[in-house]
């Protein structure tokens, strides 16, 4: 088993030891409902043309997808839920571990969440990220990519009990979040790889990103 998948599995095992079973069951039921609704069926997929965006980074400077594609052979986009999500943090750290290799392959890595630029800066600093972390206010771009859902009502008090302040971090109270997703986009603006899963505990293995870029270089 690969390194990120190992880390996710280890975290999940520790989580299951600490959190009451009834709480875990509520969380699992909500995840299963998203999968049953096949939320990902509306998401952009391999062969689609990527949607451009202009979003603020952690320093409040604007970053454009199509501008980055002019400067790089590939752009890798990672949609994550927020600094409060331990699965996202494990994934972002794993992506940081391949960032230099991606640069060497002519690929630019960009992470996107609905958090404010200040919260994005916290994410960047917490995980020591050298790549861009962008703020997608009100999930505007995530909606264009077909990734957005509203956090189930029954999960909101649970998340609050964990000390998670989604409303504060996102500065809006819709409780809308993106499904975790990873895209690789080539210079022709075409999506050549996509990973989307309704289950937020599942993530793309970084080596798969390297493999697809090497294959298409």
pLDDT tens digits, one per residue of 9-28: 999 999 999 999 999 999 99
**Exposed (0-12), middle (13-18) or buried (19+): which is 26, by Cβ within 10 Å?**
middle
Share of the chain above pLDDT 90, in %: 97
Tell me the domains of the chain and their CATH numbers.
3-216 (3.40.30.10)
For the chain, first and last CA: distance in Å?
Answer: 26
3-class secondary structure, 46: coil
Residue 1 confidence (pLDDT) above 60: no
pLDDT: is 71 or 2 the higher one?
A: 71
Q: What is the pLDDT of residue 207?
A: 96
Average pLDDT over the chain, rounded to whole? 96
CA-to-CA distance for 53 and 68, rounded, in angstroms? Answer: 10
Q: What is the pLDDT of residue 80?
A: 97
Residue 33 confidence (pLDDT) above 50: yes
Q: What is the pLDDT of residue 153?
A: 96
CA-to-CA distance for 140 and 183, rounded, in angstroms? Answer: 17
The mean-pLDDT minimum among 120-124, 132-136, 201-205, 210-214 falls in 120-124
Residue 20 tokens read as: 């009451």
3-class secondary structure, 136: coil
Taking phi first (over 0 means left), then psi (-120 to 50 degrees means alpha), and beta for anything else, what does residue 185 get?
beta
Which of 53, 97, 94 has its CA nearest to residue 75? 53
pLDDT digits (tens, 9 = 90+) for 80-135: 999 999 999 999 999 999 999 999 999 999 999 999 999 999 999 999 999 999 99
Q: Are strands 176-178 and 107-113 parallel, antiparallel or unpaired?
A: unpaired
Residue 132 tokens read as: 């861009």
Q: What is the pLDDT of residue 194?
A: 98
| Average pLDDT of the residues in 127-147 | 97
Q: What is the pLDDT of residue 2?
A: 59
CA-to-CA distance for 176 and 86, rounded, in angstroms? Answer: 18
């Amino acid at each position: 088993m690969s390194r990120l998948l190992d880390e996710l599995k280890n975290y999940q095992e520790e989580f299951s030891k600490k959190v009451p079973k009834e709480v875990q069951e509520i969380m699992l039921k909500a995840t299963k409902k998203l999968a049953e609704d096949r939320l990902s069926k509306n998401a952009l997929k391999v062969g689609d043309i990527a949607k451009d965006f202009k979003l603020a980074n952690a320093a409040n400077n604007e970053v454009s997808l199509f501008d980055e594609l002019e400067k790089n052979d590939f752009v890798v986009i990672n949609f994550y839920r927020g600094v409060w999500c331990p699965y996202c943090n494990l994934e972002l750290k794993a992506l940081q571990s391949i960032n230099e290799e991606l640069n060497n392959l002519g690929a630019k890595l960009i992470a996107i969440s609905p958090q404010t630029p200040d919260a994005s800066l916290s994410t960047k600093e917490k995980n020591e990220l050298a790549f861009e972390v962008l703020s997608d206010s009100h999930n505007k771009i995530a909606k264009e990519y077909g990734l957005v859902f509203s956090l189930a009502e029954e999960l909101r008090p649970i998340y609050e009990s964990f000390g998670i302040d989604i409303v504060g971090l996102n500065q809006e109270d819709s409780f809308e979040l993106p499904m975790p997703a990873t895209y690789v986009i080539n210079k022709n603006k075409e999506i050549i790889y996509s990973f989307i899963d309704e289950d937020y505990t599942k993530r793309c293995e970084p080596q798969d990103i390297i493999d697809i870029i090497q294959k298409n270089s």
